Structure formats: C-alpha cells, structure tokens
Amino acid sequence: MIVAGNWKMYRGPELDGLRGLDAIVCPPYTRLRECVDAGLTTYAQNVHWEAEGAYTGEISAPMLLELGVAGSLVGHSERRQYFGETDETVAKRTRAALDAGLKVIACVGETLAEREGGETEDVLRRQLSVLEPHPSLVLAYEPVWAIGTGKTATAAQAQEVHAAIRAVLRELGGSAGAELRIQYGGSVKPENAAELMAQPDVDGALVGGASLDPDGFAAIGAAAVAQRP
Ligand code: PEP
C-alpha cells in the first residue's frame, strides 16, 4: 500500500502532527527541505525533463535529489487542466525523473464528459501508452470529476477501472506493466479510505484535501497499513 498526500499550493500542516507517518508527502517546493529534514518521505509535485536550462518556473530531477527529495508526482490532472500538460510532456517528465533516480507517481484519469461519453478506457489507454513500466513507477488513477469535488468514485467504480487499467497495462507492457501499483485518488477521506483500499486492484491512495489535516491523513495511512501491512 502506498499513500501519498498532495498539499497542492497550500502551505500544509505543521510537521509535528506527522511524526512517524507511514506515507509520502508532496508539499509545495518551499517546504521540501523542511519535510526532508523532518524524516518524511518527500516527493515534489512536478519535475522537468532537462537537468537544467532556460525553463522559468520549473525544477529538475538533480535539483530535487540534491534536496533529498525521493520522488515526484507527474501529470496531475490540475497540471493537465490548467498548465497545458500533455501525454507527451508527462512521458518526458516521467522518463527523465526515473532515469535520474527519482520515484514517480504518474497520474491518469478521465473527465466527467469523457466518462459520460463512454470514453474512459480509451482515455486511459492513451494516457498509459506513453508510460513505460519501471520498478520505481507507481500510477494514480484519479477520475478528474472526483478531485476536490467531494464526489468519490464508489469502491466498485474504482475497482472496475483499476482492473481495466491493469488489463491495458498487460496488453501494453506485459507482466512488468501488470505489476505496477495503482493508487486511487479523488476525495479520499478517513471515512472512505478503508473501503477503497480493500479493493483487490487498489494499491493505495493519493490524497489531496484530506492530507492537509494531519489527524485525518494519519488515519488514512493507518487504514492502508491495516489493509495490507
Ligand atoms: C489530488 O489532489 O490528487 C486529489 C485527489 O485531491 P482530493 O483528494 O482533494 O480530491
């Protein structure tokens, strides 16, 4: 089970409440060092594909490694929606980060219009086809309609899509693809975390809003440990 908390562009909680946390934190860049120094497994929220260069506002894998950061999110739907992230740039970021030695959580998921249009599997196939299996790569299935909306996919909906993702991965990448771990993300809260993570193809959770509350986030981490230690 892999649980990660995405603090987005929020400062996030004081770290005292997170001591002993068995989960990844993805703070804003300004708090990366503080989280690393506190002994938390710390990921960035994005990473560029070049080691350095004229890319204003970006950060590179070597720079993150120098800080002691262990990995990065890539392709979060908010990056795709608001900042022009494409399947191609997601692939470039992912490959460069993995090659540099970072772990990666790569996010995929359909919008409400795509789901209602019956395109969920096609969208996921397109997003997954640019990602090569790697031991340090974890996927996060995040239906865009469930992110920050309070609408959670039901456990059955999550399981159905996770199983479909695994089938697509098997098709695209053979057994290495099928072994990738897949987190569910989208309004995960302490109240629904256990049921979501009880699904056989759900290997953890990517948590946004609820990760800003240390007690709630710790409860989600504990639900994951209870499920599959
Ligand atoms: C996220 O930011 O990845 C996310 C799933 O957010 P929330 O839990 O707030 O829906």
Is the C-alpha dihedral spanning 132, 100, 203, 45 positive or negative?
Answer: negative
Q: How far is the CA of 119 from the centre of ligand 1 (A)?
A: 22
Is 132 known to be catalytic? no
Query: Is the CB of 6 inside a 6 Å radius of any atom of ligand 1?
Result: yes
The CA-CA-CA angle for residues 190, 158, 86, to 5°, reads 105
Q: Is 110 a catalytic residue?
A: no
**Among residues of the chain, what percentage have pLDDT more than 90?**
90
The size of the chain, in residues, is: 229
Q: Does 163 score more than 80 pLDDT?
A: yes
What is the tens place of the pLDDT at every residue in 20-51?
888 999 999 999 999 999 999 999 999 999 99
Candidates 78, 85, 110, 142; catalytic one: 142
pLDDT at 7 over 90: yes
208 CB less than 6 Å from ligand 1? yes
* pLDDT score, position 58: 98
Question: Does the reported pTM lie above 0.85?
Answer: yes
Closest Cα to atom 2, ligand 1: which residue?
208
Instruction: Answer whether residue 227 shows pLDDT above 90.
Output: no
List of E strands, the chain = 2-6, 24-26, 41-44, 71-74, 103-108, 137-141, 181-185, 204-207
Nearest residue (CA) to ligand 1, atom 3? 208
Could you tell me if the CB of 205 is within 6 A of ligand 1? no
Indicate left, alpha or beta for 116 from its phi (over 0: left) and psi (-120 to 50: alpha).
alpha
Question: How many A from CA of 102 to the centre of ligand 1?
Answer: 22
